Structure 1
Amino acid sequence: MKKITLALLLPLALAGAAQAKEGGDQYPNGAEAREMVGALPPPGDYFINYAGYYSGTLRDRSGDKVRFGGREAKVNATFDALRYIKVTHTKILGADWGWHVIVPLVHQSMDFPPLGGRGSRSSVGDITIDPLVLGWHFGDWHAIAGLDINLPTGHFDKDDSRKSVGANYYSYEPVLALTYRNQSGFEGSIKLMYNIKTKNQDTDYQSGDEFHFDYWVGQHQGPWAYGLGGYYLKQTTDDKYKGRSVAAVDGVYGEGRRGQVFAIGPSLSYTSKRGISFIGQWQHETMVENRFAGDKFYFKLITAF
């Protein structure tokens, strides 16, 4: 039990945005599982609000629940991410140029038996900026490319992972988003990302890089749109401690503790005559390895200033 506890404390101490990002993810997976995610809007100022709730239990490399003396490790989080987007009149490589910033607000409550039970924290999470967002339009096809930079602005407690809302490291994330929408209203959208992490200097622990994407497939009908959306994540490099891959522990966690998750669920949106969009979504996680697994609920609002 002592070995398993020690192995968990380090990666869990890196948890970003209160496990609303599921185990250290600074990007809230599923945030962009929505329609027209690959289409940059016309020049102007835009606001997106991502409000949501996440609840899950810790899983091992086989997807089974991890227990400590018969008790499960659980987390739930309420979050609200505020995103401002500026699209300019400037053209770069034939694309519209824009930039954005995301500020997440998080309340986390984690029940982690090795640390004595439940603890909680409310804080600003890790802020995301992107000074170079480029958008192209090709008839029914649209594309966006960018480079998100995640900043270690959230509260971090190296002695108590239950109270860590920030990851305490920088990460850099190339982004490519694509949307196809035809005249009949059918649409498929995907946002592809690759997260490259730096080391947490306070713990000498470095979480592995990850390939992940958000997706949405559905139909537009008048002011309504309905479909299925979710996300997929696959860790591509090992977690490392003091420069060495983290070893397997008692057969519960594989070498390097590589995580994986796939989520899917229904999505419904309505756009008012004033152009304000309201989106409701449920995303259920499956195929989970070495991460928390559960359900995520989103309510999103999109509007122009």
Structure 2
Amino acid sequence: MPALTVGCALAFCLPGAQATEGGGSSYPMGAENYMTGAMPPPGFYTQIFAESYRADRLLDNRGKSALDDFHLRADVIAPRLIWVTEQKVLDGDLAFHLNVPLVDLRVDVNGQHQKKTGMGDIIFGPALGYHYSDKFHAIYALDVFAPTGRYDRGDLANIGRNYWAFEPIAAFSYVDPAGVNADIKVMYDFNLRNRATDYRSGQELHADYSLGWGFDNGWVVGVGGYVYRQTTDDRQDGARVEDNRGRAFAIGPSIKFASDSGWFVTAKWQKESEVRNRPEGEAYWVKLTIPL
């Protein structure tokens, strides 16, 4: 599938710069899992992504705590509709998707707290799928993040980013029911300006990955996570913000079960480390895919 983005945007009223604006991203890192680069046959499909993220530390450019008292809780359910058409473009299978995330976010900073619940930033876009062999597959896509989530520049917590973002994607999957299963989805984010704050977050390079072993009975067991690097500086009022580029790495156990009737589910837990200028925490992910 092309990238699913649940749109759980993290924005905080914090002293100093924290990587991209508020230390968050339009894309929730590590959202994808097994089968991310394998497009199914023509038809309609629904996916449900569920995430629970917790962080108790916000780290600065040296990897030290930027705040003495910081807690973040984000719970997301993100239904997604996928249409794989019968059309061929550049010899690839043409598909489209729409994702509408529902977010429950709470932020606690130095004795103050705020909670918001509602629809986050909607994600949509086209994709082309290729099957290079019976086991090796690829998807090339472009996701668009629309600023539909609630945002207020004076709030402690926001479930929208308040700017458009564009994300080219290249995803690859090697699928063997009785052997190695390997997936990687590489993404590059171009963020536009937040007009409410005159802040433009830097560009971001990141990849979700998974590696596991299939037991020829529908089960795959292995590990998964993500790698993240901010590649350009943020700009505030047109001036470059220095020494605040974000980075992170996450890994944890990951499993998949595929039924004989076509639906499959993946689940994983991932722990973040090597974090700079962002929150550091852990996340639980579940993804259910059902053909309609």
Q: TM > 0.5 between the two?
A: yes
Shift of 1:277: 1.3
Q: How does 1:100-179 map to 2 (within 5 A)?
A: 100-113=97-110, 117-130=112-125, 132-139=126-133, 140-162=135-157, 164-179=158-173
Equivalenced residue count is 277
Assess, with a 3 A threshold, how the Cα gap between structure 1 residues 182 and 52 changes in structure 2: closer, same or farther: closer
1:231-266 superposed Cα distances (whole Å, 9 cap, x missing partner): 1110001111001112xxxxxxxx241000100000
Superposition deviation, residue 219 in structure 1: 1.1
What's the counterpart of residue 81 of structure 2? 84
Percent of matched pairs sharing the same residue = 39
2-side partners of 1:52 and 1:172: how far apart? 22
Residue 267 of structure 1 is matched in structure 2 by 254
Q: Give 3-state SS (helix, strand or coil) of 1:37's partner.
A: coil
In the alignment, is the contact (CA less than 8 A) between 2:228 and 2:249 conserved in 1? yes
- Once residues 206 and 183 of structure 2 are traced to their aligned partners in structure 1, the CA distance between those partners, rounded to angstroms, is 14
Within 2, Cα distance between the matches of 1:181 and 1:258? 35
The answer to whether structure 1 residue 37 and structure 2 residue 36 are counterparts is: yes
Shift of 1:187: 1.4
Judge conservation of contact 2:204–2:232 (CA < 8 Å) in 1: yes
Partner of 1:18: none
Residue pair 1:230, 1:262 contacting (<8 A) in 2 also:
yes
Distance 1:147 1:300 in 2: 21
Classify the secondary structure of the residue corresponding to 2:100. strand
Distance in 2 between the 1:300 and 1:232 partners? 20
Q: Which residue of 1 aligns with 2:9?
A: none
Higher helix residue share: 1
Question: 1:189-204 counterparts in 2 under 5 A?
Answer: 189-204=183-198
TM-score where L is the length of structure 1: 0.87
Instruction: State which of 7, 19, 38 in structure 1 corresponds to 2:16.
Output: 7
Contact 1:234 1:260 in 2 (8 A): yes
Q: Which residue of 1 aligns with 2:54?
A: 55
In 2, Cα distance between equivalents of 1:5 and 1:87: 43
Match of 1:175, as an amino acid? I
Residue pairs, 1:234-273, within 5 angstroms: 234-246=229-241, 255-273=242-260
Shift in CA distance, 5/270, structure 1 to aligned 2, threshold 3 Å: closer
Amino acid at match of 1:63: G
> Aligned to 1:208, which of 190, 198, 202?
202
What residue is the counterpart of 1:250 in the other structure?
Answer: none
Q: Distance in 1 between matches of 2:116 and 2:174?
A: 41
> 1:179 Cα shift?
1.2
The answer for the alignment partner of 1:252 in structure 2 is none
Task: Supply the distance in 2 between the matched residues of 1:60 and 1:183 (Cα, whole angstroms).
Answer: 43
The unaligned stretches of length 5 or more in structure 1 are: 16-22, 247-254
Q: Pick closer, same or farther for the CA change 1:273–1:199 going to 2, 3 Å.
A: same
Runs of 4+ aligned residues of structure 1 deviating over 3 Å after TM superposition are: none
Taking the aligned partners of 1:299 and 1:179, their CA distance within structure 2 comes to 19
Q: CA deviation at 1:185?
A: 2.4
Q: Is the 8 A contact 2:34 2:266 kept in 1?
A: no
What's the CA shift for 1:168? 0.3
The alignment's TM-score, normalised by the length of structure 2, stands at 0.90
Distance 1:5 1:223 in 2: 46
Gaps of 5+ in 2: 1-12
Q: 1:162-196: per-residue Cα shift (whole Å, max 9, x none)?
A: 2x110000000000001123474211110000000
Q: Answer whether contact 1:205 1:241 (CA < 8 A) is retained.
A: yes
Q: 2 CA distance for matches of 1:63 and 1:11?
A: 12
Paired with 1:158 and 1:5, the residues of 2 have a C-alpha distance of 12
3-state SS of the aligned residue for 1:161? coil
